[in-house]
Chain A
Amino acid sequence: SQKIEQNSEALNIQEGKTATLTCNYTNYSPAYLQWYRQDPGRGPVFLLLIRENEKEKRKERLKVTFDTTLKQSLFHITASQPADSATYLCEGGATNKLIFGTGTLLAVQP
């Protein structure tokens, strides 16, 4: 079945380090991937979108990559801060397919 898979284990890192989150897609080819942040009790908030013909996209401390060979997107937060602690969701979009992963919980320790 078509899936977006994210690491279900929480990622714990020290403040100031770079956090790297992984999103893998299987059995379909998304035309784009989106990354969202979700805090408890709130709806997801859009962060970045990357298209299949783009290898990398940046926004402030955020960087996203799209590797169609590995069928994977990496999401990086540089100089992480405790305020970056949240669940990060990946979504892969294709014609008639809008599939979210289950998200990865990031905890940044001061």
Chain B
Amino acid sequence: GAGVSQSPSNKVTEKGKDVELRCDPISGHTALYWYRQSLGQGLEFLIYFQGNSAPDKSGLPSDRFSAERTGGSVSTLTIQRTQQEDSAVYLCASSFTLGQDDRGYTFGSGTRLTVV
């Protein structure tokens, strides 16, 4: 597609429920990243995928968070047993290569998650 697409754009869920957030990266981009942004805060790195390599999960805040990338394209971020502190905007980005790429990352518009 022309850009990085994320769905849903907004999600309200009850505490304790599981949620799935989806990211469609730009075709041809081998690297895919998930970040979380809380109100007035910077972007908190969660996980990245690069090609067929094992993902770097070092940023995932707890074992309630997991992510997968199927066929080197679409990615799903799953949060189990959601807590109120999970409320944030979840941003996905993709790039041609990991890191030093003069074209940078292309971000989606994010999914605003509210846990009530």
Residues of A within 8 A of B (CB): 4, 31-32, 34, 36, 41-47, 49, 51, 89, 91, 93, 96, 98-103
- Can you pick out 11 interface pairs between chain A and chain B where the beta carbons lie within 8 Å of each other? A36-B105, A43-B108, A43-B109, A46-B103, A46-B106, A51-B100, A89-B42, A93-B99, A98-B45, A100-B42, A102-B42
Q: Which residues of B contact A (CB under 8 A)?
A: 4, 33, 35, 40-45, 48, 56, 58, 91, 93, 99-110
B100 touches A103 (CB 8 A): no
Which of B44, B56, B101, B104 has its CB near the most chain A CB atoms (within 10 A)? B104
- State how many angstroms separate the Cβ of B61 from the closest Cβ of chain A: 15
Closest chain A residue to B46, Cβ basis = A98
Contact A99 B99 (CB under 8 A): no
Shortest Cβ distance from B116 into chain A, in angstroms? 20
Pair B106/A100 contact, Cβ less than 8 Å: no
User: Across the interface, do B35 and A93 meet the contact criterion of CB distance under 8 Å?
Assistant: no
User: What residues on B are CB-neighbors of A43 within 8 Å?
Assistant: 4, 91, 93, 107-110
Contact residue among B33, B41, B108 (Cβ-Cβ distance under 8 Å from A98)? B33
Complex CA–CA separation, A8 to B95 (angstroms): 28
How far is the CB of B31 from the nearest CB of chain A, in Å?
A: 10
Q: What's the nearest-Cβ distance from chain B to residue A39, in Å?
A: 11
CB of A66 to closest CB in B, whole Å: 12
Instruction: Determine the residue in chain A with the shortest Cβ distance to B106.
Output: A46
| B48 contact set on A, CB distance < 8 A | 98
A80 to chain B, nearest CB (A): 22
The chain B residue sitting closest to A42, CB to CB, is B109
Closest to A93 in B: B99
- Chain A min CB distance to B108 (Å): 5
Provide the residues of chain B in CB contact with A36, threshold 8 Å.
Answer: 104-105, 107
Among B35, B58, B102, B110, which residue has its beta carbon within 8 angstroms of that of A100?
B35
